[in-house]
Amino acid sequence: MLRRPAVIVLLCVSVIPTSAGVLAALWSGLDAAALTRVLATPGVGLSIASSIWSGVIATGVSLLLAHLAVALAASGGWRARLNGFALPLLAMPHLAMGIGLALLLAPSGVLLRAVSPWATGFDLPPDWLIVQDPAALSLILGLVLKETCFLIMALMAALAQVPSAKLQLQARALGYGPLKAWLAVTAPLLQRQIRLPLAAVLVFGIGNVELAIPLGPGLPPTFSVMLWRWFTDPDPLINAQAYAGTVLLLLATMAALAFIAAASTLLTRLLRRAAESGKRRSHDGYARGVAQSVLLVGWLTGMLAIAAILLRSAAGPWRFPALLPGGDWLSRWLDVLPVAGNVVATTVGLAAATAICGLLLVLPAAEQCRRDRRTRAIVGAWLFVPLLVPQMTFLFGIQVLLVRLHVDGTHLAVLWSHLIFSLPYLWGLLAPARATIDPRYQSVAATLGATPLRTWFTVTAPLLARATLLAFALAFSVSVALYLPTLFAGAGRFATAATEAAASAGSGNLRLAAVHGLLLAVLPLSVFALAYTTNSLLFRNRRGVPR
């Protein structure tokens, strides 16, 4: 480890602020008086319960759907297309998804407009509590749509390590139906490899505000939203409650993690029992049909949410049963351009800086770990830690530290906070990509007289170019989506698409939320589209270059 300076630098960038943040959060959160006030707040128990409930249920459902999607795609011969389906929903930030679903499902939303008044007879939006329902069902739906895609990506990455085609063939040859064959043989092998992403899904589900602000229950809100309001309150006594509450959030998250770990052990045992039952389930057409329909409906809902944002952002006053907003769309979009221009510049600048700094940190470290699988796994696990702690907990702590050091609200502080969240994804993509390049290419280049530096630029870098472009798009999208880090490290001074969307969603201004939600959705999607297009143009006549 000590002979790999780039790895040490990379780890320091992530681990030092994360651990310092958690410690500082605990330090300022262990305040008996504030804790007493938190526990005496009306509805706090229900609020914590609804956070845990929505997080746990969404995680379980997402895991199930992700496994089903991969099983159906792999056994149905459209495995290569699955990533393409998941990508738009994956690239869309949580906040945009939340705003879009709210606009789609609300009583005055696009869905009811589409069937009113001809099917429902409604001339006015009905008095239903669909979004922000007390059982948090719409919040769970939002989480499931996003996290299923995230887990599909994690499963697909794990699939590269498993000889799934041979295993599937073997099980099919023994008479098993495609679905059962996959779930009994390959799924357990994949499950073992996605423990960290699964934990991250749960932690995010419990601690998020991005979906809970537009979709979560109102009275009381989820605990993270409660803390968020306390934190943004001008009264320092109430701020102290936020710090104390974040310790509770950490404890609740840890309890839920233990629960999920136990549940997943039980699930593995059930799957093994099912595998040993000898039941072939060779006629699984019906089950596959049901699973496929559920996935399709979910996917369509997500895509419609994007469409709903598009419609609402273009609408001024929009009378209820009309499906399309009337009037001059273009001029309304042009109206918001001057405001949006600055927001776009800040958002894109920050995201591009994050992606470039992240690549500069990760590429040398990946180079130094290319022959050492164990170190790659250890580095990956350490970089993942920020995704396993509730964002609020360590961001509160980091904010306390930044204020002490008088660097809160600086560009460096915001950039750093974004880096912390991008590095695990950059590492997850680039470290294996670097490791799979045949080391003998370098030997060949060296024996032909090329220096190590020339070899890196003329051989290694071109072979890594495609993965690097995708990694850039990924880090860019992560940065665009980040709300809490921008808010806390930026001391509220940075107006990005995420902060503006959250602020307008929080204050109930849906039109403005839709405008910023549109930016949130469009920026990552266009960067991914650009990366994929460039990748297909790059080395288009060179079949041997890794995809």
Cα–Cα distance for residue pair 509/111, rounded to 1 Å: 20
SS3 letters across 175-219: CCCHHHHHHHHHHHHHHHHCHHHHHHHHHHHHHCCCCHHHHCCCC
What is the number of other CB atoms lying within 10 angstroms of the CB of residue 31?
Answer: 16
177-196 residues near other proteins, rule: CB under 8 A: none
Part in contact with other proteins (CB under 8 A); list of ranges 43-51, 53-61, 186-194, 451-459: 451-459
Which of 254, 261, 294, 450 forms a contact with other proteins (CB under 8 A)?
450
Nearer to other proteins, 413 or 469 (CB): 469
Part in contact with other proteins (CB under 8 A); list of ranges 25-33, 70-78, 314-322, 452-460: 452-460
Residue 457 binds other proteins (CB under 8 A): no
Which of 78, 128, 441, 457 forms a contact with other proteins (CB under 8 A)?
441
Taking the complex as a whole, how short is the minimal distance between the CB of residue 447 and other proteins, in angstroms? 4
Taking the complex as a whole, how short is the minimal distance between the CB of residue 460 and other proteins, in angstroms? 10
Nearer to other proteins, 225 or 369 (CB): 369
Part in contact with other proteins (CB under 8 A); list of ranges 101-109, 156-164, 411-419, 457-465: 457-465
Q: How many residues does the chain have?
A: 547
Size of the residue set binding other proteins (CB under 8 A): 25
Q: Could you tell me which of 199, 216, 214, 211 has the C-alpha nearest to residue 49?
A: 216
Residue 536 binds other proteins (CB under 8 A): no
Nearer to other proteins, 342 or 451 (CB): 451
Cα–Cα distance for residue pair 224/98, rounded to 1 Å: 15
**Tokens representing residue 69 in the block:** 């999607």
Nearer to other proteins, 78 or 441 (CB): 441
**Please, what's the b/e burial string for 275-294 (b: 16 or more CB within 10 A of its CB; e: otherwise)?**
beeeeebeebeeebeebeee
CA distances from 195 to 191, 200, 528 (A): 7, 9, 26
For residue 439, report the phi and psi dihedrals to the nearest 5 degrees. -60, -20
Which of 374, 406, 542, 547 forms a contact with other proteins (CB under 8 A)?
542
SS3 letters across 69-81: HHHHHHHHCCHHH
Q: Could you tell me which of 307, 279, 250 has the C-alpha nearest to residue 101?
A: 307
Nearer to other proteins, 46 or 446 (CB): 446
Cα–Cα distance for residue pair 510/74, rounded to 1 Å: 40
Cα–Cα distance for residue pair 497/481, rounded to 1 Å: 8
Part in contact with other proteins (CB under 8 A); list of ranges 73-81, 295-303, 374-382, 459-467: 459-467
Which of 447, 508, 537, 547 forms a contact with other proteins (CB under 8 A)?
447
Residue 547 binds other proteins (CB under 8 A): no
Q: Do residues 518 and 343 make contact, with C-beta atoms less than 8 angstroms apart? A: no
Taking the complex as a whole, how short is the minimal distance between the CB of residue 3 and other proteins, in angstroms? 10
Residue 102 binds other proteins (CB under 8 A): no
Which of 462, 491, 506, 529 forms a contact with other proteins (CB under 8 A)?
462
Nearer to other proteins, 381 or 444 (CB): 444
Nearer to other proteins, 233 or 438 (CB): 438
Taking the complex as a whole, how short is the minimal distance between the CB of residue 526 and other proteins, in angstroms? 27
Which of 444, 457, 492, 526 forms a contact with other proteins (CB under 8 A)?
444
For residue 437, report the phi and psi dihedrals to the nearest 5 degrees. -70, 125
Taking the complex as a whole, how short is the minimal distance between the CB of residue 330 and other proteins, in angstroms? 44
| 220 cis-preceded (ω within 30 degrees of 0) | yes
Which of 166, 283, 440, 547 forms a contact with other proteins (CB under 8 A)?
440
Radius of gyration of the chain (CA): 24
Residue 451 binds other proteins (CB under 8 A): yes
Cα–Cα distance for residue pair 61/406, rounded to 1 Å: 44
Residue 463 binds other proteins (CB under 8 A): yes
**Tokens representing residue 89 in the block:** 């929903």
| 524 cis-preceded (ω within 30 degrees of 0) | no
Q: Could you tell me which of 214, 31, 240, 192 has the C-alpha nearest to residue 138?
A: 214
Part in contact with other proteins (CB under 8 A); list of ranges 54-62, 110-118, 129-137, 435-443: 435-443
364-393 residues near other proteins, rule: CB under 8 A: 371
Look up residue 78 and give its DSSP letter: -
Taking the complex as a whole, how short is the minimal distance between the CB of residue 539 and other proteins, in angstroms? 6
Q: Could you tell me which of 401, 380, 375, 388 has the C-alpha nearest to residue 16?
A: 401
Taking the complex as a whole, how short is the minimal distance between the CB of residue 267 and other proteins, in angstroms? 40
Part in contact with other proteins (CB under 8 A); list of ranges 4-12, 176-184, 270-278, 456-464: 456-464
Nearer to other proteins, 166 or 543 (CB): 543
Which of 443, 507, 509, 536 forms a contact with other proteins (CB under 8 A)?
443
Cα–Cα distance for residue pair 131/111, rounded to 1 Å: 12
Taking the complex as a whole, how short is the minimal distance between the CB of residue 439 and other proteins, in angstroms? 9
Count the alpha carbons within 13 Å of 71 in the hemisphere toward its beta carbon: 28
Contacts 24+ apart (CB under 8 A), 271-278: 271/183, 271/184, 271/187, 271/188, 272/188, 274/180, 274/183, 274/184, 275/184, 275/185, 275/188
Residue span 314-353 as binding mask against other proteins, x where in contact by CB under 8 A, dash where not: ----------------------------------------
Query: Which spans of this chain sit near other proteins (rule: CB under 8 A)?
Result: 371, 438, 440-441, 443-452, 458-459, 462-463, 539, 541-546
